[in-house]
Chains A and B, each alone.
Chain A
Amino acid sequence: MTISTPPAADAIAEEPARRGLLRYAVAKVGGALLSIAMVIVATFFAFRLLPGDPVRALAQGRNMTPEQLDLERRRLGLDKSLLEQFVQFVNQTVHFDLGTSYEYKRPVLDLIGERIGATLLLTGTALVMAVSLGIWQGARAGWKPGSRFDKFSTGVSLVLWSVPTFWLGLLLLMVFAAGIGPIPGIFPTRGIESVDAPDGFGYVLDVAKHMVLPCLTMVAVVYAQYLLVMRSSVLDEVGQDYVTTARAKGLKDDEIRRRHAVPNALLPTVTLVFMRIGFVVGGAVTVEAIFSWPGLGQLFYEAIRVPDFTLMQGTFLLITVSVILMNTLADVIYHVLDPRVRSA
């Protein structure tokens, strides 16, 4: 928007508004910290409910004497009572120590650090694409509800939303990576890079090529939610009197959409987007598994199979905490964006 608002003598009103924002932000952050504390408790106990014995799983079917199993158990700290384990876990966690992975025998934080880049690259790209596509189509669909564009874009997005992720992923793999009939496979089937990837720009290109299919799968499956939220919030604006007023002043239809309806309709969508940014960290377990993407989702998936308690707790905590933080950020941003919430 091009706004050239002249200065006014109303600086007095600014101060209480800013203090209101601060109080609001403090309250939100306090709430978030409480949620995180509850998540820490829940994380510990939820994973202890999983079936399976990590010690036996790590033995991988080798014959071990009960003494050896006990020794291993002591090494992992599983011989202590649940309460002692819990106290130790909480103590470590608040000191930002996520423990040592049972399976990899390395600090969980290091493991996460190695994987997080790949995940952020994939899910971040997919999120940006899904949000842009969803908002763009949703705004147009909601502006002219019932139009051909609306029916088509809403229909397609809902079909894709209903498709199981693994099925769509496998289908894309079959068609575009393995090749079908006379069509050769054009995209790589797995991983983030080729073994013989060149350096420099060639490497970027190689990674991009590897990203196409997993990214496409993720975008196709999730963009419907942005489209639908945007569509319904634009729809709410269409009937507003200020739209009629702007039209009566001679503002063109496209301009009304761009200047009035879309900025106002973006508010609810912003909340949704920030919630999803939280999930970006967690990656998409299914997509990473299908395309063997070396990210956090796959790390989590492997940890469940053992079960590798510390690794699971670590990744799960990271995911939930980022979701909570992003939600809090969304609340605060909403506050800044909407003048009505600001002074309320």
Chain B
Amino acid sequence: MLTATDLAVEFASRGRRARAVDGVNLSVGAGEIVALVGESGCGKTTLARTLLGLERPTSGTVSYDGSPLSYRGKALQAYRRQVQLVLQDPMGSLNPRQTVYEAVAEGPRIHGLPDEEKVVAEALSRAGLRPPERFFLRYPHELSGGQRQRVVIAGALALDPKVLIADEPVASLDASVRGEILALLLRLRDDLGLSALVVTHDLGLAWNIADRVAVMYLGRIVESGPTEEILKNPQHPYTQALLSVLPESEERIVLTGEPPDPTRIPTGCRFHPRCQIVAAGNPIADKCRTDLLPVLPTTEGSQAACHLVTQRQTR
């Protein structure tokens, strides 16, 4: 459905080039929910923006339904109807001076959809705001955090998209509301066949809703596969470290070293300066420091970009 192929996005920052996304293959199938997991600054938000066509890739392509995304006005406009965005902070995502009706009606107006009022009412009730008419004239500040995020989701649904890209959709919500919003995403998938890419730093969230998980580190996907396999049997040391901080895990792996800097990507395996296996003095460490790893391809199955994993598999 939505596919990124060898995608790279670079920014110039203080004279140096930051490779925010540095070779990513990722696909979201029809009716599939994929979680993109990683720490802040790993490039997951940039990747999401690029998939939305808000950012242009330096190299590689984004394709939708098999055809590469065009950045020309008309084609991009049509693409916007198919792939919609939900951001983290619902208060910020809504113009404070617009009523709920205006916010949700914006998309249909831009695209000149008929029966505006009906579209808005339907989107609101799909998003769980019922009866929709009661919310038409409300302002964002009069709503609760969960209701606001439902309005944002309704704004996306009003365009009848095929894919939702949600950037930390519940990170700024109360724990009790989180579950409701996640349940809503699942229901939308079941009812409408909506696909979703959920960007998050929270593996627990991925566990709850995602069919597949892709773990991103420093601009690249280091491990991906079906949620069960990745979370129950993580191969990549970085995924293992991420999982070890969940309350259920017995042993906590604390990563050393500085948070990664996309202007200075390490040689060899990009994770090696912080890798607990390299730090423990595993004999493979030399290879990790010097040998580049191939970019992971788009596959349904589990895969990890790690020399240790490769060695284990070939043996």
Contacts and interface: CB of A to CB of B under 8 A. Distances in A.
B136 A8 contact: yes
A250 B93 contact: no
B183 interface: no
A164 B229 CA distance: 73
A3 B81 CA distance: 22
Interface string A1-37: 0011110111001000000000000000000000000
A4 B139 CA distance: 16
Interface stretch (B104-112, B174-182, B289-297): B104-112
Contact of A250 (B88, B102, B111, B152): B111
A3 B159 CA distance: 19
B276 to A, nearest CB: 36
Interface stretch (A50-58, A206-214, A292-300, A335-343): A335-343
Contacts of A156: none
A250 B84 CA distance: 10
Contacts of A343: 139, 141-142
B142 A245 contact: no
Given A8-B136, A10-B134, A343-B141, A245 B155 contact: yes
A263 to B, nearest CB: 6
B155 A8 contact: no
Interface in B139-198: 139, 141-142, 152, 155, 159
Interface centre among B93, B97, B111 (most CB of A within 10 A): B97
Contacts of A264: 95-97
Interface residues of B, number: 37
A341 to B, nearest CB: 10
A262 to B, nearest CB: 11
A10 B141 CA distance: 16
Given A9-B133, A240-B92, A251 B97 contact: no
Contacts of A46: none
B101 A5 contact: yes
Given A9-B133, A339-B141, A249 B106 contact: yes
B125 interface: no
B87 A245 contact: yes
Contacts of B110: 249-251
Given A241-B93, A242-B93, A242-B94, A249 B84 contact: yes
A194 interface: no
A251 B54 CA distance: 12
15 contacts: A5-B101, A9-B134, A10-B138, A13-B137, A13-B142, A241-B92, A244-B54, A244-B87, A248-B52, A248-B54, A249-B155, A250-B107, A263-B97, A338-B97, A339-B139
Interface of A: 3-6, 8-10, 13, 240-242, 244-251, 260, 263-264, 337-340, 343
